[in-house]
Structure 1
Amino acid sequence: MNSNTTVVDGITMRWEEAGDGMPVILIHGIPASPALWRHVVPRISGARCLAWEMVGYGASIPEGHDRDISIGRQADYLASWLKHLGVEQAIFVGHDLGGGVAQIAAVRNPGLCRGLFLTNAIGYDSWPIPSVKAMRMAGGLVRHLPDSVFKQVFQNFIKRGHDDSVRAEEAIDAHWPNYRDHGGAAAFVRQVKSLDVQDTLSIAGDLPSLGIPARIVWGVADTFQKIDYGERFASDLSAPLQRIEGGKHFTPEDHPEIIAEGINQLVAEVSISDTSDGKA
């Protein structure tokens, strides 16, 4: 993937890009970055993949200072970025917090989202998870943790969400440097303090009326985002649900071939729909 930056409304936005064809927007969660999709994007065909970095996350942590980095606001940042790039329609792919961003952006911008793919995503009242709530409540203490201590917290969090221990270590190497270089525990506390469950509750009732192709892929053993929520998404979006038995939270890293296969199927479905509608 190629790294890119542009300035939108005074905010430096970053993304990784590869391929050509239908735009597919991949949105990470916490405590990740676009690197979450590093093994997924090479397996996607017939699409222009753009792995967007949320404002205040990853290498963009500094852009979050003195800005609203809530999930609801991220959806607005995403829409503004797509408009800036001239992308009029795209498939949204979201994991964890990124799934919440994708849902909100789809509801708020009719016609922008041509297809929705969710994997172990937040939604409804599924978040913030208890460990994140605890860190938010103890934010005054957590933010002052030295990097050596916070890294242990970070590593434990990552490992709990992986069923592949090798990929877990790789994920730590991929995502930790962003915290090490941009504020450590204080940056993480700023992120968790921005989380508001009302952002997804406010649009939950609109999901059944989106009327777009959708697919749900879920790690069944995820203790962060339970399979019950994957089933609820599948019902509300009239979408097939693929269960990854034994899969935990970080499915794009542990099971990239399954995630990419699902995205490819959605790209094909949307392409067929566009052709039948005379859009291609």
Structure 2
Amino acid sequence: MWGSDTDVLNLALAATVAATVAAAGWLAVALARARRAHRRSVDERGWLLERERESAARTAVDEERARIARELHDIVSHKVSLMVVQANAAREVLDAMPQEAEKAMAAVESAGRDTMTELRHLLGLLAPAQDGSEPAPEEAAQLTPQPSLSRLSSLIDRFAFAGLPVEVRISGEPRPLPTGIDTTAYRIVQEALNNALKYGGGRPTEVTVRYADHSLRVEVLNSGPSVLRGDAPAPPQPDGERPDGAGRGLLGLRERVAVYGGDLDARRRLGGGYRVRARIPLERA
């Protein structure tokens, strides 16, 4: 009986060893499969991340191109419009009022110089030095600073000199603004005044900038042709710009304002003229 019990124990031990070996082999196979699956997952994830990086890079390039296109439109449309108005005024008074004509041509020259400076600044962002070096301090000092509400007075003066009466109201406590918002607010006023100059017939225009606790509000009102009086509106321009706020300039600004969570409304006023109104959220200082 003892020998028989020993055989049983040996058989049980052998079965246990075999089961253990089989389990170890199964675990090894399962581990190898898991490792292969993990590697495939890592490779797929890396591929997806690379695709996402490429997509993000393309999106960033497209957005930057759109931003540059808007900036170029702002610079060229605004400054060239002023130059055309001043040149026309100089031509009309050249014989009768040579001094006034000289002032107008000086304004044309100044606007042209400003335009070239801003274009150099903007194109400098696109074409850095070939060796990748930063511009020298004296060269950087020549670059025009980004437009901001701190330069609003000089902007208003240029339009007033071009024949557009402008009244400015500032409410609230002026405070430093994020660069993008500051530039956007300046461009809103610039574009609205530019449209008022081209389509408003030199009628008085009001600019209001309000610094609220949680937002910056910009409004430009122009007392142009009245729908109620039946005045004929200015015709659409060949380049697609229209005085009803649907031109490319204000459309681009509406996109800019939306980036900061704000909204821009531009429409014809029933009592005459046009209104451009924007609200841009701000963090409480």
TM range (shorter): under 0.3
Give the TM-score of the pair, scaled to structure 1: 0.23
Give the TM-score of the pair, scaled to structure 2: 0.22
Higher relative contact order (CA 8 A, sep 6+): 1
Larger strand fraction of residues: 1
